[in-house]
């Protein structure tokens, strides 16, 4: 066969191109949020709390990718994600339609600052989240290292509506019998607030910190830079306001290169 008659070959993928993974399960929590699990390539490594690019093949064959926090812990054989559904979002408007067996694209490298390496040692770890910003903490609270490093872990989750708390509630409940971290369950506190529907605590988390309500509710002292460490994940406004409260209490922002008392990451939308 001469070259002109050769069947068209798919162009070779670059070694950095995303891998194609299979959707294993999808769970819709509300009309704004859903979680899904995909296969994990054996070579894919990450630290609990990191994010990775996830996406779909676009109509022109160009991948459409967005950053997603990995919600599963680093030891899990599958990868879990918790996503917002943006009605006109270029990716999430399509991603929300995936079903088991469908293919999604997974970036090869994860990164991020919501990791233990970016915090100095402490006694109490606060994980402040709003909406799908709970995703990286779903990873962190399922990692035994978290309980080796901290005596107490406080996961806060603030949502607009009560139904949006369900993912976190199911997750925390499942930890009680978890073979790896179940024995530490008593040291994990789940603090939920809802802002746009009736709920026992109907405040933004920033209000709970400013008024001291969270500290009295949990019977812990106010922020202390000597022992308290903080990870923050939510909208940009939520991050900025929570960060300001941490700084007011004398905590400094850390990074992988320079660990300190608190770290931040935007909950990605698109």
For residues 55 and 91, the answer to whether their CB atoms sit within 8 Å is yes
Buried b (16+ CB within 10 A) or exposed e, 112-124: bbbbbebbeebeb
Identify which of residues 117 and 237 has a Cβ nearer to ligand A2P in the complex. 237
> Considering the rule CB under 6 A, would residue 78 count as an interface residue with ligand A2P?
no
- 182 is written with which tokens? 């179940």
- Per-residue contact track with ligand A2P, 182 to 201, x per CB under 6 A? -------------xx-----
> Which range binds ligand A2P by CB under 6 A, 95-103, 157-165, 171-179, 220-228?
157-165
Identify which of residues 18 and 131 has a Cβ nearer to ligand A2P in the complex. 131
3-state secondary structure of 239: helix
DSSP 101-126: T-EEEE-S--B-S-SGGGB---SEEE
Distance CA 20, CA 5 (A): 29
Contacts of 244 (CB under 8 A, 6+ apart): none
DSSP 164-180: GGHHHHHHHHHHTT-TT
CB of 203 to ligand A2P, least distance (A): 9
> Considering the rule CB under 6 A, would residue 159 count as an interface residue with ligand A2P?
yes
> Which range binds ligand A2P by CB under 6 A, 93-101, 143-151, 158-166, 178-186?
158-166
Buried b (16+ CB within 10 A) or exposed e, 173-190: eebeeeeebeebeebbbb
Distance CA 95, CA 97 (A): 5
Which residues inside 200-229 make contact with ligand A2P, applying CB under 6 A?
204-206
Residue corresponding to tokens 């950053």: 67
CB of 84 to ligand A2P, least distance (A): 8
For residues 231 and 127, the answer to whether their CB atoms sit within 8 Å is yes
Identify which of residues 80 and 241 has a Cβ nearer to ligand A2P in the complex. 241
Residue from the set 92, 130, 139, 152 that interacts with ligand A2P by CB under 6 A:
130
CB of 193 to ligand A2P, least distance (A): 7
> Considering the rule CB under 6 A, would residue 265 count as an interface residue with ligand A2P?
no
Residue corresponding to tokens 């960060």: 243
CB of 267 to ligand A2P, least distance (A): 7
CB of 204 to ligand A2P, least distance (A): 4
- With CB under 6 A, what is the number of residues at the site for ligand A2P? 15
Binding residues vs ligand A2P (CB under 6 A): 130-131, 158-160, 195-196, 204-206, 234-235, 237-238, 241
């Amino acid at each position: 066969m001469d070259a002109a008659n050769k069947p068209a070959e798919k162009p070779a993928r670059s070694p950095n191109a995303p891998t194609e993974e299979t959707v294993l399960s999808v769970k819709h929590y509300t009309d704004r949020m859903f979680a899904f699990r995909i296969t994990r390539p054996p070579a894919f490594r990450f630290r609990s709390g990191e994010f990775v690019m996830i996406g779909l093949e676009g109509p022109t064959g160009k991948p459409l990718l967005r950053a997603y926090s990995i919600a599963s812990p680093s030891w899990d054989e599958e990868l879990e994600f918790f996503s917002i559904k943006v009605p006109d979002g270029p990716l999430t408007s399509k991603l929300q339609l995936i079903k088991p067996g469908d293919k999604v694209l997974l970036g090869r490298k994860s990164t991020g600052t919501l990791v233990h390496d970016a915090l100095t040692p402490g006694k109490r770890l606060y994980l402040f989240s709003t909406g799908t910003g709970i995703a990286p903490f779903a990873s962190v609270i399922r990692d035994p290292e978290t309980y080796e490093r901290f005596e107490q872990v406080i996961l806060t989750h603030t949502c607009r509506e009560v139904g949006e708390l369900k993912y976190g509630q199911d997750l925390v409940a499942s930890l009680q019998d978890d073979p790896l971290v179940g024995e530490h369950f008593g040291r994990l506190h789940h603090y939920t607030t809802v802002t746009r529907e009736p709920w026992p605590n109907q405040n933004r988390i920033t209000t709970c910190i400013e008024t001291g309500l969270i500290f009295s509710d949990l019977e812990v002292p106010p922020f202390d830079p000597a022992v308290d460490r903080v990870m923050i994940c939510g909208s940009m406004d939520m991050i900025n306001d929570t960060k300001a409260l941490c700084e007011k209490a004398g905590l400094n922002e850390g990074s992988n290169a320079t660990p300190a008392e608190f770290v931040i990451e935007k909950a990605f939308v698109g």
